[in-house]
Structure 1
Amino acid sequence: MSKKPPMRTESIRASLRDAAASHRRHADGTTDKISFETRKAGLKVAARFSDFLRDNISPHKRIDNLKTADVKAYAKHRLEVDGIAPRTLQNEVSLIRVMLRQKGRGEFADKQLQNKDLGVPKAPRAGAKESPSKDFVEANLAKLPEREEVALRLAYHLGLRKKEVVMSGKHIETWKKFVDAGKFEGLPVLAGTKGGRARYVPIPADERADAIRTIHRAYALCKAHPKGNLIDQDGLKESLDRLANQAKAAGFKHANSPHSLRYLYAQRVYKEAIAKGMTTKEAEMAVVTALGHGDSRTQLWRHVYSKGMQ
């Protein structure tokens, strides 16, 4: 009887791509949905890693015979040949571990593919954004068309991500009901969130009047659109692209991209929590929860969102 031929490189590529598009499996065996952005990044890493294995290790590599040395060689190539930043490499290796867990090699991924095993250098967790000044924000908002201006004001007042802003038409009626009833805690955010995980956000008191006006303006704009959209585009991708392009043209770019508005929101939530008498730890938990991160990820506040607190 002839031996079964080894699986071709395409098999490991297909396996990794399938894993990248699946639910995320954590080290403790739990799973959750992954965002579109994470899935997209995972598919890119799957293709790049499988191509590296084919060209530099063996055209017959499979998930079940992958070794630590194979991943270590990939990490070295990405650092020394491709010249990527250590933080980027950390993210790529993390995605590879996720994909291997999906394919039944969780023990291998978690015990033999830690960063120290692969020669991945340490890198600071600090983000690339900065908290812009209020004058900068207002000056650049004034340059935007009305719908995009209102969209970024929502991001500022509610700490929304770009996709959440674009899909805010699904929640704007509820938000209007909340603020009209004097309820400024627990506004629901579900559409466009990472992994479809709902969260409930507060409106800090310091600029609450402007937040109410912004929600009323957004409500009117959504009602005036045939599809109830805030951004005047038919598709999600087109709406995201338009908001990003208009924001960049107005001056929201690089370290002060629209995402930096979440820094200002986070800092206002933190200061209000402290003013209410919360401990530092409790205030940090309030911030990361409002931003849509787990309450255990308070290091994101300390190393990322607190940068340049005003």
Structure 2
Amino acid sequence: MSREAGGSKDSQKHRRLHWSEFSRFAARIGHTLEAVDEAEDWMLEFFVWFLVAGAMKPGTLANYRASLSVIQGTAGQDMSRSTRSRDLQLERRDRHGRHRARTPQEFTDLLVAAQAFDNGVVHVIRLMRWLGLRMREALMCGKSLETWRHLILQGDRRLPVERGAKNGRPRRTEVLGDRVDETLHAITAALEFCRTRDFELVTGCNDDLKSAKSRLKSRFEQLPMRRELGSHSLRFTYAVDFANAALDRGVPPVEVLTQLSDRLGHGPSRVKMILEVYCWQIRHRFPEKIQLPSDFVPRTQTKKSSVSSADYPEVRFKGNRSPASRRRPARGRRSQTKHGGKKQNHRPA
């Protein structure tokens, strides 16, 4: 079910782990769940309060609730009411303040320190800074460098980010208008470096992505890249420069946030988060009271993500209940679905 819900491999793994922990909690209170759709609202609410009593941070708690909601939604159960922060009066996560944009001198010092370790790390840092890339995107962008260089030379400032994009969602970043030369130089240097290395900027001991990512993280730990100046601060630096340049051109504040959200790969609907997180250092440049669209726009449900008796003939619902309503099958029963044209028993996520 986690695989059907989509998302990155890490997201799918975390969903399975979170739901397994919830299943063990249900067993401890005397309700062994033999199938995913046997979970009930009150069990989930009890589990949330159990986590709160254990002093779980609001951000981590939100991740648990999102995982459970996605799994139960894939099983045909709408448990959003049991996980709504406002109804449960839960503390909201504070999403701003952990990172900040680097000053030009701090960025220069970082490059000097990185050159003593690994030139590949230097190229990753430059690409993250000038294009606002995530660490994984910069690590995997080697085969896109030639395309990016060609687009910039042709006068195009929008560059496609396809490899390593979060949740597999390709996006298009944008070259900063007053930093074209620096960006082109960073891309050209990175291309020359990795051309003879199978287009890999950083190579791990096992010659795979996992080990390369581990090596890059290890290098970051050895550099002054911790806490507020962690690797994500490079994206913050790009975001602040992008927003300042757009505001200086007279672009409306809401449009600035919408464009920046799109360039960073968060989609056009996360403008409130962009303002509170990435632009908190320049909050004074935006109106104190600004009309922003909701961060959480419900997506239109598609047949792929919904569960219905028409899409899945093996799933039968009693009476006139809709697929999203509560289903309590008899103990030991497994609902069946199709995977690659074959019938398989559903296992707990």
2:191–2:199: 8 Å Cα contact kept in structure 1? no
CA change 1:164–1:87 in 2 (3 A) is same
User: How far does residue 210 in structure 1 lie from its aligned partner after superposition?
Assistant: 1.5
Within 1, Cα distance between the matches of 2:14 and 2:258? Answer: 28
Q: Secondary structure at the match of 1:156?
A: helix
- Post-superposition Cα deviations, 1:3-40, rounded to whole Å, max 9, x if no partner, equal xxxxxxxxxxxxxxxx22332xxxxxxxxx41233223
Cα distance, 1:86 vs. partner? 1.6
Residue identity in the other structure for 2:276: H
Listed one character per residue, the Cα deviations across residues 90-143 of structure 1 (whole Å, up to 9, x for unaligned) are 22112211111011113xx13443224445333333263222322222212211
Alignment of 1:267-306 (within 5 A): 267-306=240-279
Of 17, 26, 42, the residue aligned with 1:69 is: 42
Q: Distance in 2 between matches of 1:49 and 1:307?
A: 36
Residue 173 of structure 2, aligned match among 184, 201, 212:
201
TM-score, L = length of structure 2: 0.75
2: distance between equivalents of 1:112 and 1:232?
45
Q: How far apart are 1:272 and its partner, in Å?
A: 1.8
Which has the larger helix fraction? 1
Structure with bigger RCO (C-alpha 8 Å, 6+ apart): 2
Which residue of the other structure, out of 70, 85, 107, is the alignment partner of 1:98? 70
**Would the aligned equivalents of 2:45 and 2:82 in 1 still touch at CA under 8 Å?**
no
Asked whether the 8 Å contact 2:261–2:271 carries over to 1, the reply is yes
Where do residues 209-248 of structure 1 align in structure 2 (5 Å cutoff)?
Answer: 209-225=181-197, 227-233=198-204, 234-248=207-221
| Unaligned 5+ runs, structure 2 | 284-349
Q: Does 1:120 align with 2:102?
A: no
C-alpha displacement at 1:44, in angstroms?
2.2
The 1:278/1:56 distance shift into structure 2, 3 A limit, reads same
Gaps of 5+ in 1: 1-18, 24-32
* Of 258-267 and 113-122, the range deviating more from structure 2: 113-122
The separation in 2 between residues aligned to 1:88 and 1:205, in whole angstroms, is 37
Contact 1:71 1:118 in 2 (8 A): no
Structure whose alpha-carbon radius of gyration is higher: 2
CA drift of 1:209 comes to: 1.7
**Paired residue secondary structure (1:278):** coil
Equivalent AA in structure 1 for residue 102 of structure 2: P
Residues 80 and 278 of structure 1, relative CA distance in 2, 3 Å threshold: same
Give the Cα–Cα distance (whole angstroms) in 1 for the partners of residues 60 and 75 of structure 2: 23
- Do the aligned partners of residues 42 and 303 (structure 1) sit closer, same or farther apart at CA in structure 2, a change above 3 Å counting? same
After TM superposition, the structure 1 stretch with the greater mean CA deviation from structure 2, 285-294 or 199-208, is 199-208
Hey, what does 2:289 align to over in structure 1? Answer: none
1:22 aligned onto 2:4: yes
- CA distance in 1 between counterparts of 2:153 and 2:248 reads 25
Q: Deviations over 1:240-271 (max 9, x none)?
A: 11111111201112221111111111111112
Q: Distance in 2 between matches of 1:124 and 1:257?
A: 18
Q: Offset at 1:57?
A: 4.0
Amino acid at match of 1:288: S
Question: Residue 150 of structure 1 corresponds to which residue in structure 2?
Answer: 123
Contact 2:81/2:87 (8 A) holds in 1: no
DSSP-derived class of the 1:258 partner: coil
Check the 8 A contact 1:141/1:250 in 2, yes or no: no
2:133 counterpart residue number: 160
Provide Cα deviations, 1:184-224, integer angstroms capped at 9, x if missing partner: x2111011001221111111123322211100111101212
Deviation at 1:60, TM superposition (A): 4.1
Quote the Cα distance in structure 2 between the aligned partners of 1:92 and 1:119: 16
SS of match in other structure, 1:21: helix
State the distance in 2 between where 1:261 and 1:244 align: 14
